């Protein structure tokens, strides 16, 4: 059957989902229009709603629907400690360990010269301002242990040490090349405890 | 991190995709908002567009953006032969075998008393009209070989034989309980060739 153009576009659009190849994209598209049109419409609206309402916390840069996120507003947490991660999912991984009580800063990326991502392309300037507020005394670098994450940690460490801040790096309890998102909470908790000053 | 509500809704909405559990829905949601907001918006639009433009062919009931689909309009095909399938994906499976030159009728479902789906809930009345146009002489039943598909084939056969039409069933070359969508084109081609009058 000549597949209607709008269905073909839908199959193409579904390919952006992680782990979805051409065959499963087609299966998903047909499922959506054949068997669950209401669910499909809800998905479209949920996507638009999420993209429309999610913004970045003015303090830590993570996704939130507020101006300042709930973690940054939490008086119970240690506001002198700042943990730097690449992405909001990394922040969530650390929160799941329940072993960290400080605040966060989310870079929304990492340095990656090969992809043309330099210091001005991630939130380094914002991090510098954030860490220089006079309250933060220690910055814990929790970028991934990939080449890019390590380069980012190195760059951030230099930048913040020049401001007189104490900078530490979570321990390499993670496997080399590992990403926070895919590690078990126990290992990640250990890595937090064993962080070393850099 | 307390996940923002709009992100939680997106995770829920993604669960309607076939084969997507809670973990991969979360991974997909974060991927969409963190790394591919443009792709996410395109997906939302593709969904709305597909749902908005796809309609049912007035002759064969399959999905199309036209009033009458390209297969039904094709003068080269055998308009005296009508193959009845459950879903548009089944039609596609048969087209892929390149062994059938007649037209189709898509029920958009199957009889399933246990789910409360009776003769009035699928396009049987429309099929009866379509098959009684004076041009169709043979109807090939290609519903699935599941309990519901067999019951549907039986019901349709009775209904159409009563109108003097020749009715056949594709051969049970498919494994029992098998669905057209998951069978290789060769087996399906064989099943079409070996169809038997019922
Ligand atoms: Zn925040
Ligand atoms: Zn048609």
Mean pLDDT of A52-70: 95
- Provide, rounded to the nearest whole percent, the portion of chain B with pLDDT above 70: 95
Q: Find the range with the poorest average confidence among B23-37, B63-77, B180-194.
A: B180-194
Task: Report pLDDT digits (tens) over B16-47.
Answer: 999 899 889 998 999 999 889 999 999 999 99
DSSP string for chain A: -PPPHHHHHHHHHHTTSTT--HHHHHHHHHHHHHH-HHHHHHHHHHHHHHHHH-EE-TTT--EESSSS-HHHH-TTSEEEEEEEESSHHHHHHHHHHT---EEEEE-SS--BGGGTB-TTTTTHHHHHHHHTSSS--EEEE---SSHHHHHHHHHHHHHHHTTT-EEEE--TTSPTT--GGGS-HHHHHHHHHT-EE-
Question: Ligand 2 (ion): which residues have CB within 5 A?
Answer: B 57, 59-60, 69, 72
pLDDT value for A157: 95
- Provide, rounded to the nearest whole percent, the portion of chain B with pLDDT above 90: 68
Rounded mean pLDDT of chain B?
A: 90
Whether A150 and A92 map to the same domain: the answer is yes
**Chain A: residue whose CA lies nearest to B106:** A34
Can you give the CATH number for the domain in which B18 is found? 1.10.8.420
Contact B36 A14 (CB under 8 A): no
Whether A45 and A82 map to the same domain: the answer is no
Mean pLDDT of B109-118: 91
Whether B47 and B91 map to the same domain: the answer is no
Taking the model in full, what pTM does it have? 0.74
Strands B102-106 and B78-85: parallel
Mean pLDDT of B145-168: 92
Interface test with A, best of B3, B5, B13 (most A CBs within 10 A): B13
Q: Give me ligand 1 centre to Cα A57, in Å.
A: 5
A138 inside domain: yes
Ligand nearest to the CA of A66: 1
Whether B10 and B84 map to the same domain: the answer is no
Taking Cα atoms as reference points, which of B131, B132, B135, B126 lies closest to residue B77? Answer: B135
Mean pLDDT of A178-190: 75
Mean pLDDT of B152-156: 95
pLDDT value for B63: 93
Task: Report pLDDT digits (tens) over A145-179.
Answer: 888 998 999 999 999 999 999 999 887 766 767 77
Whether B39 and B97 map to the same domain: the answer is no
Contact B54 A6 (CB under 8 A): yes
Task: Report pLDDT digits (tens) over A9-28.
Answer: 999 999 999 989 988 999 99
Q: Which conformational region is residue A98 in: left (phi greater than 0), alpha (psi within -120 to 50 degrees), or beta?
A: left
Report the residue from A31, A71, A89 with minimal CB separation from B34: A89
**First CA to last CA distance, chain B:** 62
Note whether A97 and A190 are within 8 A (CB): no
Q: Above 80 in pLDDT, residue A190?
A: no
Task: Report pLDDT digits (tens) over A88-132.
Answer: 988 988 888 888 999 999 999 999 988 899 999 999 999 999 999
pLDDT value for B177: 73
A174 inside domain: no
More confident residue, A189 or A106: A106
More confident residue, A179 or A138: A138
Q: Above 70 in pLDDT, residue B176?
A: no
Domains identified in chain B, total number: 2
pLDDT value for B161: 93
Rounded mean pLDDT of chain A?
A: 90
Phi, psi for B166 (deg, rounded to 5): -80, 125
- C-alpha triplet B34, A68, A162: angle, nearest 5°: 80
Q: Provide, as residue numbers in chain A, all residues whose Cβ is less than 8 Å from the Cβ of B55.
A: none
A146 inside domain: yes
Whether A155 and A100 map to the same domain: the answer is yes
Contact B13 A65 (CB under 8 A): no
Supply A181's token pair. 């998102």
B70 inside domain: no
pLDDT value for B140: 92
Can you give the CATH number for the domain in which A124 is found? 3.40.1360.10
Note whether B32 and A19 are within 8 A (CB): no
Q: Give me ligand 2 centre to Cα B42, in Å.
A: 28
pLDDT band at B149 (very low <50, low <70, confident <90, very high): very high
Report the residue from A9, A17, A34 with minimal CB separation from B46: A9
Whether B82 and B49 map to the same domain: the answer is no
A190 inside domain: no
- Judged on CB neighbours under 10 Å (0-12, 13-18, 19+), A43 is buried
Taking Cα atoms as reference points, which of A162, A173, A158, A66 lies closest to residue A119? Answer: A158
Whether A156 and A82 map to the same domain: the answer is yes
More confident residue, B150 or B192: B150
Q: Give me ligand 1 centre to Cα A61, in Å.
A: 6
Interface test with B, best of A18, A34, A47 (most B CBs within 10 A): A47
Task: Report pLDDT digits (tens) over B88-107.
Answer: 988 988 888 888 999 999 99
B190 inside domain: no
Distance CA B158, CA A113 (A): 70
Distance CA A182, CA A172 (A): 14
Strand partners, A103: A82
Distance CA B196, CA B198 (A): 6
**Which structural domain, as residue segments, surrounds residue B33?**
5-53
Whether A87 and A14 map to the same domain: the answer is no
Supply A27's token pair. 């299966």
Distance from CA of A162 to the nearest CA of B (A): 30
């Amino acid at each position: 059957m000549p597949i209607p153009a709008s269905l073909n576009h839908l199959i193409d659009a579904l390919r952006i989902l992680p782990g979805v190849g051409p065959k499963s994209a087609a299966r998903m598209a047909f499922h959506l229009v054949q068997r669950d049109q209401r669910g499909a419409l809800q998905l479209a609206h949920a996507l638009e709603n999420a993209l429309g309402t999610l913004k970045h916390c003015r303090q830590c840069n993570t996704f939130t629907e507020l101006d300042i996120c709930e973690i940054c507003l939490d008086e119970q947490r240690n506001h002198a400690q700042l943990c730097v991660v690449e992405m909001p999912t990394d922040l969530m991984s650390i929160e799941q360990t329940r072993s960290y009580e400080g605040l966060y800063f989310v870079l929304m990326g990492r340095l990656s010269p090969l992809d043309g991502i330099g210091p001005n392309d991630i939130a380094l300037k914002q991090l510098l301002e954030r860490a220089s507020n006079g309250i933060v005394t220690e910055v814990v670098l929790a970028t991934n242990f990939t080449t890019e994450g390590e380069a980012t940690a190195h760059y951030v460490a230099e930048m913040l040490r020049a401001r007189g801040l104490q900078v530490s790096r979570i321990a390499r309890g993670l496997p080399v090349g590992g990403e926070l998102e895919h590690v078990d909470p126990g290992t990640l908790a250990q890595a937090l405890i064993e962080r070393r000053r850099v």
